[in-house]
Structure 1
C-alpha cells in the first residue's frame, strides 16, 4: 500500500488561491478548455465534499443524484470561505491512516482507498494550479505531494475521460510542470482574456 500523503499544504495553498479570486475573474478561461474559473470553483466545491465521504468510506446519501456538470452559475454564495474550509476538512479526513485502507467509493464509483486518496490530492493540486494560472497568482504546492501525484498518475492507465493526452515537458521542467503535463495540460498555458 502507498503510504498516506499529507494533504494539508495542498489544501491550504489551493484554498488561498480561491480566497483571492475576484468576481470579475469567474468568467475567465482555465487550462481545462471546458471550464471557466467559476465552473472550476463549482467543481472543487463538489469534489471537496465527495472525497471527504470517500475518506470516511461513506457513499453518497440515498436520493443524491449524479453530480451535474460544473457550472459557475450554480456557485453558491460564500464560496471564498466555504471551499477553502471544505478543503481543510478534506485534508483532515485523509490524515486518518484508516482512510487509506481497503475500498471506498468516489461519488458512486468503487475504488481502492489509496487510489481515491491520490485522485483527491491530484484534484486539489492540479486545480489549484489551474486557478492560479488563470488568475495570475503564484502557486507553490508541497513538492512531496506533487511528486507523489506524478508517480501515481504515471502508474495509471490513461483514461481519456479524465485526462487529455500527456503534454511532453523538458527534462529540466519542475515537478509541478511534469505533473501538469501528465494531466494533459500545457505548463506554459496563459489565459487569453
Structure 2
C-alpha cells in the first residue's frame, strides 16, 4: 500500500530536480508499514531512539521538511532537529506516515524547492542543501528502522550516490579522528556498498544487528 500511495501522489514530478526523493520515500514508507507492534520498544542503530522514538522522528521530519521545501519558515522549521521525544506517536501511524512521506516526496518534486534559501532545524540553508538533508534523513533513518526491525533496505543508486557525496563533504578532521555531520565516522572499506558507506559516514556501524540476531 505504501508504494502505491507515494507512486500516485508523486506521479509526473521530479523530472527537473537534482535528485528524485520518491524512491527513498517509497522504501522508507514500506519499512514503516512492516514494523510490528512488539518491536516498538526495541533498540535501533540510532542509539538515542527506540523503534517507537524513531517512528516519531520520521513522522516529525516527514511533516516539517515539507515546510522547508515550500520555503514556509515558522515554528516548525525553526525547531531544533531531532526533538521527537515529546511528540506522541499517532495511533494511526501505519496509515499516516506513508501518506506524510508521500506528501514530502511531492513537495521536493517541485523544481522551485531546490532553489533560493530555506530553513530547517533552525538553520538557514540553500534549497539544494534542504533537499539533500531531506534525502539523507530518509535514507539513513530508513536504514535505521529497517535494520532494527529485521527488514531489507535498498534505495536507488542515484539517491545513494547523492547522500554519500553529501555526507562525505561534511567530514572534517577532529582531535578524535574524522567527524561527520552526525558524529565520529565509522570507517568502511572504500569498495564497500554505497549504503554501507553512507551508514558509516552517518556514524553507524553497517554490521549493527538487533539483539538476539543470529
Q: TM-score, normalised by structure 2?
A: 0.82
Contact preservation (8 Å) 2:180, 2:201 = no
The separation in 2 between residues aligned to 1:83 and 1:176, in whole angstroms, is 23
What secondary structure does 2:119 align onto? strand
User: Which residue does the alignment assign to 1:91?
Assistant: 105
Aligned in 2, Cα 1:154/1:59: closer, same or farther, shift over 3 Å? same
Aligned in 2, Cα 1:157/1:16: closer, same or farther, shift over 3 Å?
same
For 2:87 and 2:72, locate their aligned partners in 1 and report how far apart those are by CA, in whole Å: 28
The root-mean-square deviation of aligned C-alpha atoms, in Å, is 2.2
* Match status 1:164 vs 2:178: no
Q: Does 1:59 align with 2:73?
A: yes
Matched, 1:133 2:147: yes
CA distance in 2, matches of 1:66, 1:151: 24
- Tell me the distance in 2 between the aligned counterparts of 1:66 and 1:51: 12
Q: Which runs of 5 or more structure 1 residues have no equivalent in the other structure?
A: none
Question: Paired residue for 1:42?
Answer: 56
Contact 2:40 2:51 in 1 (8 A): yes
Deviations 1:115-136 (A, max 9, x none): 1110110000110000000000
SS for the counterpart of 2:183 is coil
How much has 1:108 moved relative to structure 2?
2.9
Runs of 4+ in 1 over 4 A off after TM superposition: 64-68, 157-162
**Structure 1 partner of 2:96:** 82
Q: Deviations over 1:131-166 (max 9, x none)?
A: 000000011111110111110111125596951211
Q: More relative contact order in 1 or in 2 (CA 8 Å, sep 6+)?
A: 1
Instruction: Structure 2 unaligned segments of length 5 or more: list them.
Output: 1-16
CA contact (8 A) 2:180 2:202 kept: no
